Structure 1
Amino acid sequence: MKRPLGPFPGDDASAFALENVADAVFAVDRDFLVRYCNLAAGEIARIDPAEAIGRTCREVFGVSNCRSVCVLRQSMEEARPIANRIVTLKRQGCPDVPVTISAAPIWAMGGAVIGGVQVFRDLSGGGFVSRLAGLQPLDDFGTRDPQLSEIVRMLPQIAQSDSTVLLLGESGTGKEVFARAIHKLSERSSGPFVAVNCGALPEQLMESELFGYKSGAFTDARKDKPGRFALAEAGTLLLDEIGDLPYAMQAKILRALQERAYEPLGGVATLPADVRVIAATNRDLGKMVADGAFRQDLFYRLSVVVIRIPPLRERPGDVPLLVDRVLGRCRMAVTKRIEAISPEAMERLLAHDYPGNIRELENILEYAAILSPGRTIELCHLPEHLRGPAPACPFKNGRTMAEIRFLAAREAVARCGGNRNAACRELGISKDTLRRILGRRDEERG
C-alpha cells in the first residue's frame, strides 16, 4: 500500500525503498504532525501507518521520555542534520530500548524548514519492533551470539514443561536471570519464585532451611517454620550453587525430586512438593561424580534439561549491548546522566576477557560512572587495571573501522551458512546495509 507523503518531497521509488527497510522512518511537519510513516514505524506504534498521518508523533509512538530525547526537534530548531545519537526510548509497560537516532530537517524551496524526518535503529539485539511494542517476554537477553540466541529461542519450550533444569555457567554469567525467565514463561508464573544459595547455608542448618521444621524439633524450635520447598509451593525453586550441597543432603534432595514429597525436620507426616526445581552451578558436576563428591543418581535427576550459558569472553559482540543496559541502571544508581562511552574506553572493554563475566562488567561501569564528572565515560575513568596497554582487541587488531565491519559481516554470513537474511538478523542490520558493507569493501580491494 502506498503511504501518503503530503507535500513533502518523495517519488514512488524512494517511498517504496522506505517501506521495505528494517529501520523505522517517519516524517513530521512543523507542528510535529506525522506526514509519513513506514511499515516498521507502524509496527512499533502498533498502528496502520495510514492511521498515523495527521496525529502528533508523541501520540502515535507513546514514548514517555519524548521531550528529553527528541533529536528530531533539535534537528528542526537548529536546521541541521544530526546523525547516530544514542538514546534510550521508554514506553509505559514496555522494556527500555537503546536506539541510535538520525534526524534531518526538510526544507521548502525557499529555504525554510517545513518539517523533519527521523530514522531509529535498535541497538539491543533483542528484536526492535517486539521490544518497543512490549511483545517480547525475553527482554533481558539482548544478544548477537548465535549460541546464546539459540538458548533464548528454546526457553519458551523448556518453560512449558515441568522438568528439572540444570543451568551450567561461570560465576556472573546470569544463571538466576535465566531461571527467572523460565519461571515467567511457565504456567507457574503466578506462583512464587524462591532462590536459595546452597553454598551460603551453614551445613547444620541446611535441612531445616530447605524443608522447614516442626515445633519442638530442637531446643529453639518454638513454632513451626516452613522451608524453601514450602515457600515455593505452586512455583519455582532455584537451588543455586548446587555443587556446594553437602553429600548427606544430596540424598534428601534426590528424594524430594523423585517422590515430589519431603518431611520437615522433626515431623512425621510427608508433605507434597508441588515445586518446579531449577538447579545452577559453576562447578563441573561430571568430574565431581567421578571423584565421588556428588551423587550420580542426583546428577542424572537434575540433568533432564541442561543449559550451558557461555561466558562473556566467548561473546564479545554482546559487550556494547550490555554496556548500554548497565549504564541505564547506573544513571539511576549514581543520580547522574551518563549518555556515552568514548571509543577508547569501549575498545578497552572489548579487549578485556571478563573472568567475572557480566557481574564484573557491571562493577566496572558503575565505578566509571561514579568517577566521570560529565556525561561521557572516558578511558581514564575505568579501573586502573584496564587503563594500561590493551591486549589485542578481537574487533580491531590495527584494522580500520571499515575492515572491522567487513570482517564481522563476512564471518556472520559464514556462520549462517551463506544465508544473508539470517546474518542480517544476527548483526541487527538491514539487507541493504549488509550488501553495502560487503560490496564497498570488495570495491576497495579491486
Structure 2
Amino acid sequence: MDKPSPDRFEAVIHSISDGVFTVDSEWRITCFNRAAEEITGVSKSEALGRRCYEVIKSNICKDACVIQYTIDTGRPVINLMVYFTDKQGLQIPVSVSTALFRNIRGELIGGVETFRDLRQLEEYRKQVENSYSFEDIISKSNKIRHILDILPTIAVNESSVLIVGETGTGKELFARAIHNLSGRGNKPFVAINCGGFPETLIESELFGYEAGAFTGATKAKPGRFALAEGGSLFLDEIGDLPPLLQVKLLRVLQEKTYEPLGSIRSLKADVRIITATHRNIEAMVVEETFRQDLYYRINVIKLDIPPLRERMEDIPLLIKHFIGRFSSILDKDISGISPDALNILMSYDYPGNVRELENIIEHGCVLCPGSLIRAKDIPDWLRPPSKEISAASSLDEVEKQFIISVLEKNNWKRLAAARELKIHKTTLFRKMKKLNINPPNQARHSKQE
C-alpha cells in the first residue's frame, strides 16, 4: 500500500467541513484548513507558524487548554462546547475535539484540534428557548461597555433595577442578562408588557385569580408573580401601569406578598423585580401620573441604554451579527454587505433602534441572491436616488464620514477621538492623512494660502 503523501493529507483536511488545525510540540500551527479560516475569520497565511493561543482566542485557552488536557491525561476531548472570539470580537459557539500526534517511537510530536461551528444550532435553540444572554449584547460603544462591566455586579445583588431607553434599544436583552448572571439564573424569567393589556385584565395577569373570582373564571389561574417564583419578573413599559396597579405593585415590593383576585389569603412573592420603560418617568412623577414612592422603589439601580444613533460605531458589528443569524435561519451563505448598502445604513438615524436595524438586515437576507447584501436588497424607503449612492459608495468614504463625525463630537480633539475609536492616536493621524481629513481651522488656512 502506498504511503499517504503530505499533499493527500492536505486534500483530506481541506475537504472536511469542520475546522481543523494541527500544532507542533511548541504549540505552533502547522496546518489550518479552509473551514477553520471561514469560522475564525483568520486566513491560513496569518495562522501558520503562530502559536495556537495567539490565533484561536477561546474562553478556555489560558486556564484549561484542551490539547494540554489530552497530553496530561492521555484522554481525548470530544465535543466540548466553548466560545471562540473572532477578529471583530464576536463570540462564536463551537464544539471542540482533540487528539495527539506521535512518531513511530511513540514520542509526542504535536496535536490536532477539530471544531464545529454551532452558531446555527445555537440560534435555533435561542429561538425556541428565548434565552439570549450577556454574550448576545453586541457593542464596542463606551456607554454600553460600561454597562456590561457593571452588569455582573448588579446581577448578583437583589436590588430592583430600572432600565430606561427608547423602544427597540434592547432593554429586555439587558434584563435577561441580569437574570442569567444572577443567583436566580436557573429559575424562571417571566416578562410582561404592562401596556399590552387592558386595565381590567392587567391585575389578573400579574397576580392571577381564584375560581369564581369573576364571570367565566371556572378554574384558578396563576399570575406572572406565581410563574416567576424564585426567579425574575420583568415588567416592561412600567410607565403604562394604571394608578390602581401602581399601588398594588408598591405593596408587593414593600411587603413581599400579594393576593390573587378572589382570594382571601396572601401569597409570598420570592421574585426579583426588573422594570423598563421608554417614558420619562421623572416627568410623570412631577405630573403625578406615576407614584413617587413606587418610582423610588423600582429605581434602586438605573441603567440608561443609549439609542443606536448615539453609538453608530456599533452598526457594522450588529450588521455582521444579524447577517450571521439570518444566514443560519434562512440556510443561506451570506458573508457580508456591499459598500453602497453599508453607506446607506450608516447614514440612517434609526428611530426604531437595534430592532429596526435587525428587521432591515432580515429583509436584506431574505432578498439577497448571493453572498453580499446589496443596496437593492434593503427596503426601498431607505434607499436615496442612485446618484446619491454612487457619490459615496466606497468603504473609504464611509470610514471618512464616520471618523469626521467622531472628531466633530469631540470638538476635533484627536486624542479624545482616538480613545473613542479605540485606536492609537498615530493610527488616527495616519487615517486622517490617507482620507484627506483636515481640521476646520487647517482647511481655512489652506484656502487663504
Give the TM-score normalised by the residue count of structure 2.
Answer: 0.67
Any idea what SS the aligned residue of 1:166 has?
strand
Partner of 1:129: none
**Aligned partner of 1:438 among 395, 406, 429:** 429
Task: Provide the residue aligned with 1:295 in structure 2.
Answer: 291
Measured against aligned partners, the alpha-carbon deviations of 1:310-340 in whole angstroms (never above 9, x if no partner) come to 0101111100011011111211333322212
Matches of residues 36-75 of structure 1 in structure 2 within 5 Å? 36-37=50-51, 40-41=54-55, 43-44=57-58, 46=61
Residues 19-65 of structure 1: CA distance to partner in whole angstroms, max 9, x if unpaired? xxxx9989789xx9x6531653365371699x78xx9xxx99x999x
Q: Counterparts of 1:428 and 1:24 in 2: how far apart (Å)?
A: 21
Name structure 1 gaps, 5 residues minimum: 9-22, 65-83, 95-136
- Indicate if the aligned counterparts of 1:211 and 1:228 stay in contact, CA closer than 8 A: yes
Residues 42-441 of structure 1 mapped to structure 2, 5 A cutoff: 43-44=57-58, 46=61, 90-92=92-94, 138-389=134-385, 400=397, 403=400, 423=419, 427=421, 435-439=426-430, 441=432
Judged with a 3 Å threshold, the aligned counterparts in structure 2 of structure 1 residues 416 and 247 are, in CA distance, closer, same or farther, namely farther
Gaps of 5+ in 2: 1-24, 31-39, 97-132, 443-449
Confirm or deny: 8 A CA contact 2:88 2:317 kept in the other structure: no
Query: Aligned in 2, Cα 1:24/1:416: closer, same or farther, shift over 3 Å?
Result: farther
Shift of 1:362: 1.1
CA shift for structure 1 position 152: 1.1
Distance 2:259 2:412 in 1: 51
User: Match for 1:234: what amino acid?
Assistant: G
Over the residues paired in the alignment, what is the CA RMSD in angstroms? 4.4
Is the 1:211–1:227 Cα contact (8 Å) retained in structure 2? Answer: yes
Q: Aligned partners of 1:359, 1:144: CA distance in 2, in Å? A: 18
- On the 8 A contact 2:29/2:51 being kept in 1, the answer is no
Letter in 1 for 2:259: E
Mapped partners of 1:5, 1:202: distance in 2: 63
Change (3 A) 1:402 1:383: closer
1:27/1:36 contact within 8 Å kept: no
Q: CA deviation at 1:231?
A: 0.6
Secondary structure in structure 1 of the residue aligned to 2:429? helix
Q: Deviations over 1:386-407 (max 9, x none)?
A: 11159999xx899857756875
The whole-number CA distance in structure 2 between the counterparts of 1:302 and 1:391 is: 51
Question: What SS is found at the alignment partner of 1:278?
Answer: strand
Q: Contact 1:28–1:36 at 8 Å: present in 2 too?
A: no
CA contact (8 A) 1:261 1:273 kept: yes
Q: Which amino acid aligns with 2:61?
A: R
Whether the 8 Å CA contact 1:26–1:35 is kept in 2: the answer is no
Deviation at 1:205, TM superposition (A): 1.4
Q: Distance in 1 between matches of 2:242 and 2:29?
A: 75
Alignment length, in residue pairs? 354
TM (norm. structure 1) is 0.67
